[in-house]
Amino acid sequence: MSVNILEQVTSHFSNDIIVKLGKFIGTDSSAVKTALATALPAVLGGIASKGGTSQGASEILEMITKAGFGAGTLTSLSQTLSGGDSTQNLLASGSALLKRIFGDKTEALIDGVATSGGVGKSASSSLLGLALPVVLGVLGKQAKESRLDGAGLMGLLAGQSGFLKNALPAGLAGLIGLPGAANMAGQMLQPKSDSIGNYIKWFLPLILGAVLFSMFFNKGCQTPPVTAPVEKAAEKVAVATGTAIDKLGAFMATRLPNGVELNIPEFGIEKKLIAFIEDPNRPVDKTTWFSFDRLEFETASATLKPSSAEQLKNVAEILKAYPVVTLKIGGYTDNVGNPASNLKLSQQRAESTMRELGMLGVEAGRLEAEGYGEQHPIGDNATAEGRQMNRRIDLRVTNK
């Protein structure tokens, strides 16, 4: 069972500490308590999002180690938050790290917590800056006690999405890239107040209109480039054949033979993979492939985005539950651009996917990766939809 980091973090914010925080930021303690209910899961969610890759998890572990966050941070918390230089120093440290973790999303996060918690923007910023060291302190303590390396911390953070999904407003969950935030899409369509609803009602059509105008204007006025550009959409390997998230069906709890329980979609790759492995009438062959449906890469790169962490963890858990199963990972592109470059990128992305599964505990000997570039298209490259279908990462069972 995963350790509930959010529960541990929340336990350190006693009424006494909340009163001290209120005095420090000049806000009523009841408002501080309300704002913290959003700020704490938001901070942990952002850390979990960044730590969804081996590189991100290693960076977080380095932050914890360099700043010395751990059990000591937590035992002296009441004294540290009493005001004065100690509180100012903790705030300065936390605010700097907040920007490292959230980057250009920091301001939007501050606004979101301020709105959700009913506090001013300055108070929201201070609470987030002071909450972060506490979260890192709990993670540092857990990492030391469990002797976690980057891969171990990555696994710990991946297990937090279940605890966080009901603790955050859907808009903030999407903003920070929380693994599993797609599951909350329905919540995002139901605003929490009339003011937000009115905002969406009146401004969304204007935004869409502006986007459409820009598309048609640019299409008519710009000179086509000599070489076809790499579309930003090309960097998303999505939903088996580019279909929408909602076509994955309902997410449901599925128990594996080893007792591990996954929250997976009805028509996602996880269900298909399990069904194939368990069906004695479906032999291993060289033509049955399953496409990842929630995998994303950075633009023109083989670096996986944090949003990919949940599905990678699910596939890793499936492999652990069926220890004789081996897989081949295939990378594919559309036919836009240079064929040699496409082949290289597809190979790098397949290998990146294989490495991440390895970091999640899958033995290297059970995995192989090959890039096929623009070979084996499953869609029409003459259409945007077809090209999206062709940009994918697939899995093939090679032994079961």
What does the pLDDT look like over 328-365, one tens digit per residue? 999 999 999 999 999 999 999 999 999 999 989 999 99
Instruction: Taking the CA atoms of 104, 231, 184 and 118 in sequence, report the sign of the dihedral they define.
Output: positive
Tell me if 369 sits within 8 A of 395, measured CB to CB: no
Predicted confidence (pLDDT) at residue 382 exceeds the cutoff of 70? yes
Tell me the CA end-to-end span of the chain in Å, nearest whole number. Answer: 27
The Cα–Cα gap between 111 and 95 comes to: 15
Predicted confidence (pLDDT) at residue 219 exceeds the cutoff of 70? no
| pLDDT for the residue numbered 29 | 87
Banded pLDDT at 171 (limits 50, 70, 90): low
The Cα–Cα gap between 154 and 313 comes to: 10
Give buried/exposed letters for 105-135 (b at 16+ CB in 10 A, else e). Answer: bbeebbebbbbbbbbeeebbbbbbbbbbbbb
Crossing angle of helices 150-158 and 339-359, rounded to 10°: 90
Predicted confidence (pLDDT) at residue 149 exceeds the cutoff of 50? yes
Predicted confidence (pLDDT) at residue 73 exceeds the cutoff of 60? yes
Range in 49-53, 121-125, 203-207, 302-306 the model is least confident about = 203-207
Tell me if 252 sits within 8 A of 264, measured CB to CB: yes
Report for 29-38, 368-377, 384-393: range of highest mean pLDDT: 368-377
More confident site: 309 or 270: 270
Percent of the chain residues past pLDDT 90, beyond the cut: 50
| pLDDT for the residue numbered 313 | 93
CA distances from 69 to 60, 81, 158 (A): 11, 15, 20
The Cα–Cα gap between 35 and 323 comes to: 45
Range in 60-69, 184-193, 200-209, 291-300 the model is least confident about = 184-193
Q: Taking residues 98-110, report their average pLDDT.
A: 90
Please provide the average confidence, as pLDDT, over all residues in the chain: 82
Instruction: Taking the CA atoms of 363, 374, 348 and 180 in sequence, report the sign of the dihedral they define.
Output: negative
For 232-399, CATH gives 3.30.1330.60
The Cα–Cα gap between 376 and 346 comes to: 12
Tell me if 284 sits within 8 A of 400, measured CB to CB: yes
| pLDDT for the residue numbered 135 | 96
Question: Coil, strand, or helix at residue 27?
Answer: coil
Predicted confidence (pLDDT) at residue 79 exceeds the cutoff of 60? yes
| pLDDT for the residue numbered 178 | 63
Q: Taking residues 307-320, report their average pLDDT.
A: 92
Q: pLDDT (tens digit, 9 = 90+) per residue, 112-133?
A: 888 877 888 889 999 999 999 9
Residue among 133, 129, 127, 135 nearest 26 (CA): 127
The Cα–Cα gap between 317 and 314 comes to: 5
The Cα–Cα gap between 140 and 61 comes to: 8
The Cα–Cα gap between 256 and 320 comes to: 9
Q: Is the pTM for the entire model greater than 0.85?
A: no
Predicted confidence (pLDDT) at residue 225 exceeds the cutoff of 70? no
Task: Report CA dihedral (197, 200, 205, 211) to the nearest 10 degrees.
Answer: -170
Question: Coil, strand, or helix at residue 81?
Answer: coil
Name the residue type at position 256: L
| 167 Cβ neighbours under 8 A, 6+ residues apart | 6, 37, 41
| pLDDT for the residue numbered 17 | 92
Banded pLDDT at 314 (limits 50, 70, 90): very high
CA distances from 115 to 102, 121, 171, 229 (A): 18, 8, 12, 40
Tell me if 65 sits within 8 A of 141, measured CB to CB: no
Predicted confidence (pLDDT) at residue 85 exceeds the cutoff of 70? yes
Is the backbone of residue 27 left (phi > 0), alpha (psi -120 to 50) or beta?
beta
| pLDDT for the residue numbered 366 | 96
Tell me if 123 sits within 8 A of 25, measured CB to CB: yes
Q: pLDDT (tens digit, 9 = 90+) per residue, 22-68?
A: 999 888 888 899 899 999 999 999 999 889 888 889 999 999 999 89
Tell how strand 367-371 and strand 326-332 pair up: parallel
The Cα–Cα gap between 397 and 400 comes to: 7
CA distances from 185 to 169, 190, 216, 383 (A): 11, 9, 29, 27
More confident site: 181 or 50: 50
| pLDDT for the residue numbered 209 | 52
Q: pLDDT (tens digit, 9 = 90+) per residue, 235-259?
A: 444 333 334 455 788 889 999 999 9
Residue 317: both structure tokens together: 């858990």
